[in-house]
Protein backbone atom coordinates (compact mmCIF):
# COMPACT_ATOMS: atom_id res chain seq x y z
CA UNK A 1 0.00 0.00 0.00
CA UNK A 2 2.76 2.46 0.96
CA UNK A 3 4.72 1.49 -2.18
CA UNK A 4 1.64 2.27 -4.30
CA UNK A 5 1.15 5.61 -2.50
CA UNK A 6 4.79 6.50 -2.97
CA UNK A 7 4.63 5.55 -6.67
CA UNK A 8 1.45 7.65 -7.10
CA UNK A 9 3.16 10.64 -5.46
CA UNK A 10 6.19 10.24 -7.75
CA UNK A 11 4.05 10.01 -10.90
CA UNK A 12 1.91 12.98 -9.79
CA UNK A 13 5.06 15.04 -9.11
CA UNK A 14 6.42 14.25 -12.60
CA UNK A 15 3.14 15.14 -14.33
CA UNK A 16 2.69 18.38 -12.36
CA UNK A 17 6.31 19.41 -12.95
CA UNK A 18 5.90 18.89 -16.69
CA UNK A 19 2.72 20.97 -16.79
CA UNK A 20 4.36 23.71 -14.69
CA UNK A 21 7.34 23.85 -17.09
CA UNK A 22 5.04 24.24 -20.11
CA UNK A 23 3.08 27.00 -18.34
CA UNK A 24 6.30 28.85 -17.34
CA UNK A 25 7.68 28.66 -20.88
CA UNK A 26 4.38 29.87 -22.37
CA UNK A 27 4.26 32.70 -19.81
CA UNK A 28 7.85 33.71 -20.73
CA UNK A 29 6.86 33.89 -24.42
CA UNK A 30 3.79 35.96 -23.54
CA UNK A 31 5.97 38.40 -21.56
CA UNK A 32 8.43 38.63 -24.46
CA UNK A 33 5.53 39.35 -26.83
CA UNK A 34 4.19 42.11 -24.56
CA UNK A 35 7.66 43.68 -24.26
CA UNK A 36 8.06 43.65 -28.07
CA UNK A 37 4.62 45.17 -28.63
CA UNK A 38 5.32 47.96 -26.13
CA UNK A 39 8.27 49.36 -28.08
CA UNK A 40 6.86 51.82 -30.64
CA UNK A 41 7.59 51.01 -34.25
CA UNK A 42 9.96 53.34 -36.10
CA UNK A 43 8.34 54.34 -39.37
CA UNK A 44 11.07 53.86 -42.00
CA UNK A 45 9.82 56.96 -43.85
CA UNK A 46 10.48 59.17 -40.81
CA UNK A 47 14.03 60.20 -40.05
CA UNK A 48 14.45 60.70 -36.27
CA UNK A 49 17.47 62.95 -36.90
CA UNK A 50 15.52 65.26 -39.18
CA UNK A 51 15.44 68.70 -37.38
CA UNK A 52 12.08 69.53 -38.97
CA UNK A 53 10.37 66.66 -37.17
CA UNK A 54 9.23 67.70 -33.67
Residues that bind other proteins (CB under 8 A): 3-4, 6-8, 10-11, 13-15, 17-18, 21-22, 24-26, 28-29, 32-33, 36-37, 39-42, 44
Closest distance between other proteins and the C-beta of residue 19, in Å?
9
| Residues 8/10/16/21 CA torsion (nearest 10 deg) | -160
Q: How far apart are CA 41 and CA 30, in angstroms?
A: 19
Cβ neighbours of residue 53 closer than 8 Å, sequence gap 6 or more: 46, 47
Closest distance between other proteins and the C-beta of residue 50, in Å?
16
Closest distance between other proteins and the C-beta of residue 17, in Å?
6
Amino acid sequence: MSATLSATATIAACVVLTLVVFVIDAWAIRRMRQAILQIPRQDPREDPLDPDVD
